[in-house]
Amino acid sequence: MFSKIDVKGDDAHPLFTYLVKEAPGMVTKQIKWNFTKFLVNRDGKVVDRFAPQTKPENVKKDIEKVLNE
């Protein structure tokens, strides 16, 4: 479990700075809301980014694909 961190702006945590750099959004590079989801493979490469309103169960196939690579 994480403590509260900033996900955008000047005080953004380095993890989110990396995630946004590797998978910028379609409309804006920034994270719109803290429920933006990132799919990262075993090597730490960002594979995909999902909108906050995307339900976790809707990325199940994407996660399974990455796990089977």
Sign of the Cα pseudo-torsion (46, 50, 56, 61, in order) = negative
12, pLDDT greater than 70: yes
What is the three-state SS of the chain?
CCCCCCCCCCCCCHHHHHHHHHCCCCCCCCCCCCCCEEEECCCCCEEEEECCCCCHHHHHHHHHHHHCC
What was the pLDDT predicted at 27? 60
pTM: 0.78
Q: Domain locations in the chain?
A: 14-67
What was the pLDDT predicted at 26? 66
Cβ atoms of 7 and 17 closer than 8 Å: no
